[in-house]
Structure 1
């Protein structure tokens, strides 16, 4: 991508690091909300270059990782039905459910297809009017507009054999839940730049004021992250619980207004369960009444499927920032990318996968 290399410039990175060191006078703990930021931090060793005492806590910002186990099992139940074409992005196929994953179901004869856009699934539905076509719609505010547009198009075009299995979650309620946890150590947040490119920043000042924490919108390249950390440390040192924007080239204050209008039309706020965390009130979307006929969960009556997590997997504690991945006793042993116990190991944005891929394998005594 043009101009991408300039955001990895080692000379500029050193200057930003020097500025962070110069302004830091005490320990601080900040959470990067996005899994993409986590991978960039670990890949480039940014956390190891910061001043002693500045801790980066890995938050629940991986959309695959926070998709609840029962939703995976609901997907498996739908995909296994005769006459169904189940469509998903590729990163969901290896996420383990209670006893199997979508790859396993596919190997057993189910019609499971990887697509690159929900609109691809809609085209499949148009081409197969005798089949039920389901798209697995997961993720944060970033991926929701495309899913909303697809359902809107299905309704407009009268494509009734298409439905959406919805597992969308929202970042601001998760920040509130983290801050209200009795064991919370987070003093500031690096907010996810791609989420804010859609939703803007207007939801964050109230959170910053209520919980007394700075929130700085941050991008994903090394210089983006270092500038986000620098702005955050400046606010922390000054005792200012404010919102900053270290990603202005992609994030206007109001976000993407047409996308927000589409989301408001197609979805409504609902309570959502987060994998490893539990129920967070008002933390997700479901299809609004106008579009409820396209809800796969209702169409296939799988809403009553409930499951329990593996007792060995501590992914929930990783997602909440209570432990680092290598502090889990099964990390790199019983749990690896080839045999994952939890979604944080299988997802391309999961913290456990990042630690494994970039050789942060040191085990800590528990």
Structure 2
């Protein structure tokens, strides 16, 4: 498979094919005439769209907005504050590199590390388990952030009896519920959706069906190469033009209707879904993961008496419009802090921290102008 990768990538980045699909997109858009707003909910999609200049290829009446698909961007400040407090109290806190740089209401885990806290950057939950086993006399916490793509690995480890000195500060979010809530919203004016291929590889297409039935908004599950995105836009426009909305799968090489049933089973054994807060935005129904009662012995909140809730202090510095960026209501340059006091090397808001954050992606590509808006 690795030997075939250059050939595969060359195909999915073929400029001749891209031109052909773009022509078909423009042809359909002329027939539709009205403005069409499409939202994706994945930071990797935003990277591809921005890096390859896909927005510049689309007709004026078709707009693609970035939605709430960056895990670091939507992790609540309260959860970061809890992780920071534990670290400053002497607990070893482990998390991913970009998550360590995201600030809560006062500081980040990286700031806590600079003050002497034992904060460790890891690549996965397996690293956390190994570290805890090697140092049984220390208390370890894995700050478990991300979406349904990373939750199964944590579930597997918990089911395998993790060491007693390790607990989990769970802050996972469930993508189908988040996208479903956005689909049902009448505020954002979104006509169609590009669903996250990574997430759907785990969840499958099935969980989105109930939201589709209620909204009848076109949905395409997409891969991450330029041709994937262009094909997905074309498929959505075709649905709109033919007035035949449906759940459609462009990413057939990875996504199925049922998804990864083994991964889902592991998650269902370990987690329950509850209402989950998306930072700077709102509480989304059934969008958060919670450890089941039988696993409360590895629940960090139970072990250290941490209360759940939303931050009562300001989540971002004055003037920041991070929540609006996360929900696709504005483009990064519309935030007064963008590339002035908030930059990748010194991020003030979460969307500027992670490589999946819209602000970070736009800043990396030195975009300071606004994308023409066809519909707000």
Normalized against structure 2, the TM-score is what? 0.92
CA deviation after TM superposition for structure 1 residue 256, in Å = 0.6
- For 2:97, the equivalent position in structure 1 comes to 90
Contact 1:205–1:242 (CA under 8 A) maintained in structure 2: no
Contact 2:273–2:286 (CA under 8 A) maintained in structure 1: yes
- For 2:314, the equivalent position in structure 1 comes to 308
Structure 2 residue matching 1:273: 3-state secondary structure: strand
- For 2:374, the equivalent position in structure 1 comes to none
CA deviation after TM superposition for structure 1 residue 138, in Å = 0.8
In 2: Cα distance, 1:39 partner to 1:231 partner: 20
**2:197 corresponds to 1:197:** no
Normalized against structure 1, the TM-score is what? 0.95
- For 1:280, the equivalent position in structure 2 comes to 284
- 1:48-78 per-position Cα deviation (integer Å, ceiling 9, x unaligned): 1011110001100001100011111111111
CA deviation after TM superposition for structure 1 residue 182, in Å = 4.3
- When the two chains are superposed, the root-mean-square deviation of aligned CA atoms in Å is 1.5
In 2: Cα distance, 1:308 partner to 1:59 partner: 22
- For 1:69, the equivalent position in structure 2 comes to 77
In 2: Cα distance, 1:315 partner to 1:237 partner: 34
1:61-140 maps to which residues of 2 (within 5 A)? 61-82=69-90, 84-140=91-147
1:18-57 maps to which residues of 2 (within 5 A)? 18-24=23-29, 25=31, 26=33, 27-57=35-65
In 2: Cα distance, 1:181 partner to 1:333 partner: 32
Contact 1:209–1:242 (CA under 8 A) maintained in structure 2: no
Contact 1:77–1:302 (CA under 8 A) maintained in structure 2: no
Candidates 297, 302, 310, aligned match of 2:301: 297
In 1: Cα distance, 2:321 partner to 2:114 partner: 29
Runs of at least 4 residues off by over 4 Å: none
In 2: Cα distance, 1:358 partner to 1:167 partner: 30
Unpaired stretches in structure 1, ≥5 consecutive residues? none
1:143-292 maps to which residues of 2 (within 5 A)? 143-155=150-162, 159-292=163-296
Contact 2:344–2:353 (CA under 8 A) maintained in structure 1: yes
Contact 1:177–1:280 (CA under 8 A) maintained in structure 2: yes
CA deviation after TM superposition for structure 1 residue 14, in Å = 1.1
CA, structure 1 residues 220+312, in 2 after alignment: closer, same or farther (shift >3 Å)?
same
In 1: Cα distance, 2:232 partner to 2:245 partner: 15
Candidates 334, 347, 359, aligned match of 1:352: 359
Candidates 308, 333, 358, aligned match of 2:340: 333
Contact 1:215–1:241 (CA under 8 A) maintained in structure 2: yes
In 2: Cα distance, 1:318 partner to 1:304 partner: 25
Contact 2:88–2:117 (CA under 8 A) maintained in structure 1: yes
CA deviation after TM superposition for structure 1 residue 176, in Å = 3.1
- Alignment: residue pair count: 360
In 2: Cα distance, 1:5 partner to 1:114 partner: 34
CA deviation after TM superposition for structure 1 residue 359, in Å = 1.5
